[in-house]
Amino acid sequence: MISGEFQILLVAGLGNPGNKYACSWHNLGFLALDFWANEQGLSFKPGRGEFYHLSRRTRNGILTLIKPTSYMNLSGVPVRQVMKAQGLFPENILIICDDIALPFGTIRIRTQGSDGGHKGLASVITEIGTESFPRMRLGILTEQRGEDLADHVLSKIPEELNDGLLKILKDTSQALDCIFHRGLTAAMNEYNRNSFEAEPVSDPRSKCRNKKDDK
């Protein structure tokens, strides 16, 4: 554990499989993990179940990232399978998903909570039997949102927002590194904000990334 916290050893980015849903708002969990993996020089491979996965050894144990391919409403099934296979507790997992209630650019990390109307989170809660697991919600509320929420979350992210999307994915990647190396509390203090707002002044010596920790 990090300073009394449970170590995150399983991260699940939520989304829907297939080209139809690629680069949609609802697949922001997939995009976040793909971006982080690319920065680390890693790639996902098919797992023994309805998910893609990658693993790496850290000083705290084996860290596994998965992208469920069971479709959003059944996301919890592969999460439960991997969690059980690795002997993990709910406190050891982190779910990354989109959130229509948060403005585009917002990162919101919490250690527990309800599903907030998100069917992927609802599936995870049902499958593992508790709301007490960490999650990182990424805001997707924009001025372009129509009256039909389902249409919005399944729509493609507009190309004119690519620069903003890149900024969010970079910040999300840094937040993940912070969680892995310094824990959830540090990440919540540093990254629970909107990526388009001015960054808080912080001690430059307290950067989250420290690749030596993985050796």
DSSP 194: B
The mean predicted confidence, pLDDT, of the chain is 90
CB 46 within 8 A of CB 56: no
On whether residue 3 sits in a domain, the answer given is no
Catalytic residue among 26, 118, 152, 181: 26
Among the residues of 20-146, which ranges form H helices? 28-40, 76-85, 119-128
CATH number (domain holding residue 20): 3.40.50.1470
Three-state DSSP class for residue 150: helix
Token pair 């999460």: residue:
79
- The structural domain count of the chain equals 1
User: Could you report the per-residue pLDDT of 188-200, keeping only the tens digit for each?
Assistant: 999 999 988 745 4
Rounded Cα distance, 113 and 161, in Å: 29
Annotated catalytic residue 26: yes
- What pTM was estimated for this model as a whole? 0.89
At residue 41, the pLDDT reads: 96
Residues of the chain with pLDDT under 70: 1-3, 145-147, 198-215
On whether residue 63 sits in a domain, the answer given is yes
**Structural domain boundaries enclosing 209:** 10-214
CB 30 within 8 A of CB 38: no
